[in-house]
Structures are given as C-alpha cells and as structure tokens.
Amino acid sequence: MSQLALAVADLPPGQATEVTVGGQVVALFNVNGTFHAVAGRCPHRGGPIAQGFVDGPHVSCPWHNWTFDVTTGENVASADLKVARYEVRVEDGQVWVHLG
C-alpha cells in the first residue's frame, strides 16, 4: 500500500528530503523531475542519506561519503552494497511511496 510522502511542489529538482512513511525513515529525491525513494539510513553507520551531497542521481552520505545511485539503490563503488529502494508514484501533485 502506498502512503503519501509530500507534495511535488515541496521538493524541487536536484534536492532531497527525509520523510517518515509507514513509520520508516525514507530519503526522497527529485532527479530532474523524477522522484526516487531509498532507505533513509546509510548501511555503513546509519548516516542520514537525505542530508548528503546530491549530484544528479547520486547521493553521498554526509558522514563517510558512501555514494549511492538513488535510481537503483546501489553503491557506486560496489553494486553488492545497496540501500533499499522503494516504488514512487506521482498523482495529482502528490508523491506517494510504496514500502512493500
């Protein structure tokens, strides 16, 4: 089941934010008008991924610079390291995230 995360207007292209969806922390990204969602904590030490440096589809964890592709959830240095990626849909100006 999808849950409302935020309004499209609240997250401009090139930006990220942290939202809570279904009790879970989710990092939400707007990459050139397309929304992506991944788990909100870095698997390395639990850093807040949404607070990292965003460069196109990549985000670097602000604590230790682990970098992930938000479109796949994969670490750019090793595809074996991943963060969970969630399905996102935009409907009527709202961003919905599906955790299941």
The DSSP secondary-structure symbol of 50 reads G
Going residue by residue through the chain (100 aa), what tens digit of pLDDT does each one get? 899 999 999 999 999 999 999 999 999 999 999 999 999 999 999 999 999 999 999 999 999 999 999 999 999 999 899 999 999 999 999 999 999 8
Determine the structural domain holding residue 88 and report its residue range: 2-98
- Integer Cα distance of 99 and 60 in angstroms: 22
Identify the pLDDT of residue 13. 97
Planar angle of CA 67, 72, 74, nearest 5 degrees: 40
Identify the pLDDT of residue 44. 92
Identify the pLDDT of residue 1. 80
CATH code, domain carrying 93: 2.102.10.10
pTM > 0.85: yes
- Integer Cα distance of 67 and 73 in angstroms: 10
- 83 and 68 in contact (C-beta within 8 Å)? yes
Q: How many domains does the chain have?
A: 1
Residue 20: φ, ψ to 5°: -110, 125
